[in-house]
Structure 1
């Protein structure tokens, strides 16, 4: 694999889940999994030996607490970033992970499109940091805002506090829109098995948070229909 790939360590006590996560990660161009650790000692040893760029970390382990280990990563391996992939959804857990500086927090069952978007965000984040370090010693407020916007913790948190928006359903629809590039309410309803009114509500929410845009499509006959398209991350 290319020497400039982002090197990932998966810390997950269930080997079957770890293998699924490995396959998901390596489907994204520019990433390679350099190790899998199933307990705290293995995780610490591999961090020291492999020096990964990114850790995919669960919370529940027989011999350690994932949040405690996250603090170890931040204190002893400050150049290593972390994305949490876990079934834990308690508010305190999510808040604590964000306070420790986790790049993103993704709940299980893992949806590939959601992980893919986060990994692409992380690539762009690292690229932007490299560019700015080479070009200047200081950055503007607008550039700081751009860096923060590229992290994954902002949008999932927003989705949890909006009444009537379920994160799993939102990820499913966002992933479908990412695959098809554009879709109507009727198509999303048909492909995901939800009602048209529900599909419309989620699609309009994606538009509201800036992850999609909507245009009117004028057919030969009948009323114009809204067509939704996924918004790509800005690249410079």
Structure 2
């Protein structure tokens, strides 16, 4: 999957930080950066991206003023707003035009990472299905599903079913155990994310961990599927 992304941010230094951060994700390609509203619309016409990171306060137009134009000309594009604007009316406008997420500056890197990761997972989920059923819809809208024994199966916050399945599959194919770093490389996520899923699997008794000492004596936590 290749998600073409445009960054609309009037501060070129902040835009560069966003671009560098997005470079950590497999499947995300930054195809352009815009410093104002006009450049944003021009870039969308030229690049036809899948995702737009949109600021509100730009020198020629507010990001919220661009939303109706974008929705009319580029109805399929996904939008994540990253802004210092904390005005309720701006948030309501963003919701009205189907913005994926609204991040208020200064944005914590952990939240930024989680937002992009969840967006990628959602995109992969949509691409993987040709037909829609209720389970698919529940996953898409983050609704709890009902298990076979009629009990609600609800994953804790920060644990996504698709990524969890990826981690399980990786562990199943490596009986000698894996480190969090190795798992992160296999699933295309950060080491912190991989460790969070691995530790969750330990809590539900689907995985175990052992401390292994390497050649130089540095301990390494390795995970094994039960």
Distance 1:181 1:144 in 2: 25
Q: Which residue of 2 aligns with 1:80?
A: 77
User: Number of residues paired by the alignment?
Assistant: 157
Task: Find the partner of 2:63 among 62, 66, 85.
Answer: 66
Specify every segment of 5 or more residues in structure 1 that has no aligned partner in the other structure, as ranges: 156-174, 183-211, 216-236
Distance 1:92 1:181 in 2: 36
Distance 1:113 1:54 in 2: 20
Distance 1:17 1:97 in 2: 21
Deviations 1:181-224 (A, max 9, x none): 39xxxxxxxxxxxxxxxxxxxxxxxxxxxxx8996xxxxxxxxx
Mapped pair 1:149 → 2:149: no
Specify every segment of 5 or more residues in structure 2 that has no aligned partner in the other structure, as ranges: 144-156, 158-189, 204-226
1:38-117 superposed matches below 5 A: 38-117=35-114
What is the TM-score when the length of structure 1 is the normalising length? 0.59
1:155-234 superposed matches below 5 A: 178=193, 181=196
| Displacement of 1:41 | 1.3
Task: Give runs of ≥4 in structure 1 deviating > 4 Å.
Answer: 177-180, 212-215
| Displacement of 1:148 | 1.7
Q: Which residue of 2 aligns with 1:163?
A: none
Checking the alignment, whether the CA contact within 8 Å between 1:28 and 1:116 is kept in structure 2 is no
Q: Which has the larger radius of gyration?
A: 2
